[in-house]
Amino acid sequence: MKQLQVGDRAPDFTAPGVQRGQVAEYALSAYKGKWLVLFFYPADFTFICPTEVVGFSKTAQDFGAEDCAILGVSVDSVDSHRAWADELGGLEYPLVSDTGKKISSAYGVLDEKDQVALRATFIINAAGVICYQVVSHANVGRSVEETLRVVKALRTERLCPSDWKPGDPTGDLGLKY
């Protein structure tokens, strides 16, 4: 399995998922022309994962304002996702079921020992190219605010220093995403 890198085309997939209690098929190709935060997490009904899943839901409008959709992925079933989303009070984006572990494998984030997805975040641009990725230890939750900041920085198509925020000075990068 090739390790994905920034600049690689994001692997396409189609898989069932749930949003607002409704099951549907979700495909990466459906997000062409939009930015996408694709995040993987180990499992439903765990200690850290709900903090991230709810965090992304609370900021879904902020991501939407950046023309950026959100998809959460774990190896749990659609039924598990539905029950968990209900327990969490509903979510503003889909949870995708990767029970066959094909998506996690394609993105290089399947923990072979435990057979769950690692805690990983990919930001994919409107052309379907990976612009950012981070994988962390399962015991440390990701920062939703930092993910949103990075989306905003990438969308400027400019050089953005550490801790950059919208309105701060940027440099000329000369790249177009």
CA distances from 94 to 10, 29, 159, 165 (A): 18, 15, 32, 28
CA quadruple 138, 1, 113, 53: dihedral positive or negative?
positive
Per DSSP, helices labelled H in the chain are: 49-58, 60-65, 78-87, 102-106, 144-156
Q: What is the full DSSP assignment across 34-45?
A: SEEEEEE-S-SS
The token pair at 11 is: 């692997």
Q: Which residues are catalytic?
A: 49
Starting at the edge strand that comes first in sequence, how are the strands of the sheet with 68-74 ordered?
Answer: 22-27, 14-19, 95-97, 68-74, 35-40, 119-124, 130-136
The token pair at 77 is: 């079933």
